[in-house]
């Protein structure tokens, strides 16, 4: 079989189409994840800077905790920015852990134990459609 024949073979075309569609779907999922992640990061940053930073600033006596720090030889050592970044990281990491990792681990554990959710009995409509399908098969034989 030549290379041109191999490329025009129906199985090869099907595989190429499948790969193309899979790559497109993966790219779309990745793009959506990036957009949602960016929006979530903006919300968490605003929460840390506005609420938590304000509370810590009120406790520490500074109106803006992000600017809290001290000076050494006319150089500002900004501790507030570092603390805000740590709080931001902890919130994002906790959210990912509790909304992604814990449910996936729970599902994997259930599968490992064989506790799959029970399959519900088909509805009356499905049973009727299956009966029609079986009758049509019998007629065609």
The model's pTM: 0.53
Q: Any idea which architecture 3-134 has in CATH?
A: Orthogonal Bundle (1.10)
Residue 3: pLDDT band with limits 50, 70, 90: low
pLDDT digits (tens, 9 = 90+) for 60-102: 776 666 677 788 888 888 888 888 888 888 888 888 889 888 9
What distances in angstroms separate CA 56 from CA 89, 90, 129, one per listed residue? 17, 16, 64
Determine contact, residues 48/88, Cβ cutoff 8 Å. yes
- How confident is the model at residue 113, as a pLDDT? 83
Give the burial class of 66: count Cβ atoms within 10 A of its Cβ; 0-12 exposed, 13-18 middle, 19 or more buried: buried
Give the burial class of 127: count Cβ atoms within 10 A of its Cβ; 0-12 exposed, 13-18 middle, 19 or more buried: exposed
């Amino acid at each position: 079989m030549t290379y041109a024949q191999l490329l025009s073979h129906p199985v090869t075309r099907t595989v190429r189409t499948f790969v193309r569609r899979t790559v497109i779907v993966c790219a779309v999922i990745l793009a959506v994840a990036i957009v949602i992640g960016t929006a979530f990061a903006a919300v968490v940053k605003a929460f840390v800077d506005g609420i938590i930073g304000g509370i810590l600033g009120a406790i520490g006596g500074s109106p803006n905790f992000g600017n809290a720090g001290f000076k050494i030889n006319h150089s500002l050592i900004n501790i507030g920015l570092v603390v805000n970044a740590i709080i931001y990281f902890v919130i994002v990491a906790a959210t990912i852990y509790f909304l992604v990792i814990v449910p996936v681990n729970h599902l994997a554990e259930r599968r490992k134990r064989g506790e799959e959710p029970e399959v519900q009995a088909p509805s009356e409509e499905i049973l009727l459609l299956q009966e029609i399908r079986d009758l049509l098969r019998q007629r065609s034989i």
